[in-house]
Amino acid sequence: MINRILSLLLVLLMCSCSFFEDRSERVAKEGVFEKSQNPLPKKEPTTPEVTEFYEPVPPTVNPTGQNGVPSDAIVLFDGANFNSWVHSKDSRPVEWLLNDDGSMTVKDKSGDINTKQKFGSVQLHIEWSSPKEVQRNGQNRGNSGVFLQGRYEVQVLDNNNNLTYVNGQVGSIYKQSVPLAKASVPSGEWNTYDIIYHAPEFDDKGEKTKSATITVLHNGVLIQDHFEIQGTTEYIGWPKNDAHGKASLRLQDHGDNSRVSYRNIWVRELNE
């Protein structure tokens, strides 16, 4: 029995050696690139190995780590407390309502809230709902917002049977980009936003050299496709482009008893 196992191991060792020998022989013959090259060499490869590389090895992420959150994500809100958040104006403790179901609700006129941690480019997951019992119309029905780096708003709005300007509707980059679709669930149910955000870049003189970009999935539906953000998302006036570095994520208290709730908020920092 032991002999059979040893024989099997020997065969496996020989196979793996011959694999590497074959590969290195072919590579020696044709050359190989360990990473993708730009521009590509003029010589057209004639074996598959030349266009296969093994480094860098990407990190392993458990997509359903603790509580279903990716293992390398930073949890910003899981329903337990407001430890990751402060009042956006003066860093006072958050006054929003902490609910028994693991969500939080905007406390009217108590102010926006900011993450304590500052971020650059991120993947953001956030869930929100507007009240089942609707009040008012247009921009005054279930209005809140997710501000990347405290400046660039992805609109949160109860748009169900509720007409408003399309560049301010749910899922818009406020007053800059109309969403590709309205993918809301019925009022009172939970929506998801999954956002890929790349921060803008500025030179030494404070001039913007690269616009921020944003991609948004609303309940799994693509609604913003790598949109180049023009600057701050102003209610009145043109977008502004003052230089900034890492900054807090901000959630909006629209100040009209919106009663919007949030839950399950996490980010993955994107290294550029």
Residue labelled with tokens 């749910």: 170
Count Cβ neighbours within 10 Å for each residue of 223-238 and write b for 16 or more, e otherwise: bbeebebbbbbeeeee
For residues 32 and 233, which CB has a smaller minimum distance to Mg ion in the complex?
233
- Residue closest to Mg ion (Cβ): 145
Binding mask 56-95 for Mg ion (x = CB under 5 A): ----------------------------------------
Minimum CB–partner distance for residue 129 and Mg ion (Å): 15
For residues 111 and 145, which CB has a smaller minimum distance to Mg ion in the complex?
145
Query: Who contacts 173 (Cβ-Cβ below 8 Å, separation ≥6)?
Result: 152, 153, 154, 155, 214, 224, 227, 229, 233
**Structural contact between residues 209 and 218, judged by C-beta atoms closer than 8 angstroms:** no
In this structure, what token pair is assigned to residue 28? 């020696």
Minimum CB–partner distance for residue 133 and Mg ion (Å): 20
Minimum CB–partner distance for residue 145 and Mg ion (Å): 3
SS3 of residue 84 by DSSP:
coil
For residues 69 and 171, which CB has a smaller minimum distance to Mg ion in the complex?
171
Site membership for Mg ion, residue 150 (CB under 5 A): no
SS3 of residue 271 by DSSP:
coil
Q: How many CA atoms, within 13 angstroms, populate the side-chain half-sphere of residue 102?
A: 8
Site membership for Mg ion, residue 200 (CB under 5 A): no
E strand or H helix at 28: helix 2-30
Q: How far is CA 116 from CA 28, 124, 193, 198, in A?
A: 53, 16, 21, 20
Minimum CB–partner distance for residue 174 and Mg ion (Å): 6
Minimum CB–partner distance for residue 130 and Mg ion (Å): 11
For residues 103 and 139, which CB has a smaller minimum distance to Mg ion in the complex?
139
Region from 6-14, 78-86, 138-146, 242-250 binding Mg ion, contact rule CB under 5 A:
138-146
Region from 3-11, 13-21, 116-124, 137-145 binding Mg ion, contact rule CB under 5 A:
137-145
Minimum CB–partner distance for residue 147 and Mg ion (Å): 9
Site membership for Mg ion, residue 145 (CB under 5 A): yes
Region from 144-152, 178-186, 202-210, 235-243 binding Mg ion, contact rule CB under 5 A:
144-152
Q: What are phi and psi of 26, to 5 degrees?
A: -65, -40
Among 84, 103, 114, 143, binds Mg ion (CB under 5 A): 143
SS3 of residue 263 by DSSP:
strand
Residues forming the site for Mg ion (CB under 5 A): 143, 145
